[in-house]
A and B are shown apart, each in its own frame.
Chain A
Amino acid sequence: EIVMTQSPATLSVSPGERATLSCRASQSVSSNLAWYQQKPGQAPRLLIYGASTRATGIPARFSGSGSGTEFTLTISSLQSEDFAVYYCQQYNNWPRTFGQGTKVEVK
C-alpha cells in the first residue's frame, strides 16, 4: 500500500497570503495524484488531477506541481472561502490512498 503523507497538519495563513501544501508518496505514483478541498459538513471537491491540471471551475489561484513522490498544492492568494481541509490522493496503485489532510486556517 502506498502511504501518502501530507505536511503540515495545520497551516495558519492570513487572507491574501500564499499557502503551500505538501504531499509525499511512499513510492512513485507518477503524475496520478489528485487534490481535494473539504469544508465542514460538505463533500470533498476535486481541485487538481494529474498532479497539475485544474478541475472544471477551479480558480487559477490553485495550482499543483510535482511528480513521482513529491507534490505541492499552492494557493497563490488565499480568499476567505479557501479556509478548509485539503487532501491528496494517489490513483496510480490499488488500494487508492489519501493523505491525512492539511487544515488551512486563518492566522
Chain B
Amino acid sequence: EVQLVESGGGLVQPGGSLRLSCVASGFTFSTYWMSWVRQAPGKGLEWVATIKYDGGDKYYVDSVKGRFTISRDNAKNSLYLQMDSLRDEDTAVYYCGRAYAPDFWGQGTLVTVSS
C-alpha cells in the first residue's frame, strides 16, 4: 500500500524557517518524481515544487523561488521542503504527492506563519 506521511509543520514567525518531511512507503521511491502542493485556508490547490527521481532537476513556483528548497534522500525514502524567509501568505496545508500530477497524496501538514 502506498503511503506518504508528512511532518514538520507548525507555527512560525514571519521571516522564520521550517523544514517539512515526507516519508514514503509501499513503492520504489527512487524511481518517482515527487512534488509539494499547498492549500491556503479556504482556498484552492497551488503547486509548489517538484523534484526528479534522482534529485537532478528541481522546479518551483515563482512565489517561492530563492526561499524554498526541495530535496530528497532516496536511501531514506524521504522528501523534504526547506522553507526559509517565510511570509504570511505561505500559511497553508502542505501536501507531498507522488509524481507531478500526483496519484497519491499525504494527509498534509499545516504551516502557519504569524507573529
Query: CA of A96 to CA of B37 in the docked complex: distance in angstroms?
Result: 10
Known: A46-B101, A49-B101, A95-B62. A87 touches B95 (CB 8 A): no
Q: Are B47 and A98 in contact (CB under 8 A)?
A: yes
Q: Are A44 and B95 in contact (CB under 8 A)?
A: yes
Chain B hits for A46, CB < 8 A: 101-104
Q: Are B47 and A95 in contact (CB under 8 A)?
A: yes
The reply on A64 being an interface residue by CB < 8 A is no
Q: Interface-forming stretch among B23-31, B71-79, B105-113?
A: B105-113
The reply on B44 being an interface residue by CB < 8 A is yes
Give the distance to chain B from A21, nearest Cβ to Cβ, in Å.
14
Chain A residues within 8 Å of chain B by Cβ, number: 23
Q: Are B95 and A43 in contact (CB under 8 A)?
A: yes
Known: A36-B45, A87-B45. A95 touches B107 (CB 8 A): no
The reply on B50 being an interface residue by CB < 8 A is yes
Taking Cβ atoms with an 8 Å cutoff, the residues of B that contact A are 35, 37, 44-47, 50, 59-62, 95, 100-108
Which are the 6 A-B pairs with shortest beta-carbon distances? Answer: A43-B105, A96-B47, A34-B101, A91-B101, A98-B45, A46-B103
Taking Cβ atoms with an 8 Å cutoff, the residues of A that contact B are 1, 32, 34, 36, 38, 43-46, 49, 55-56, 87, 89, 91, 94-101
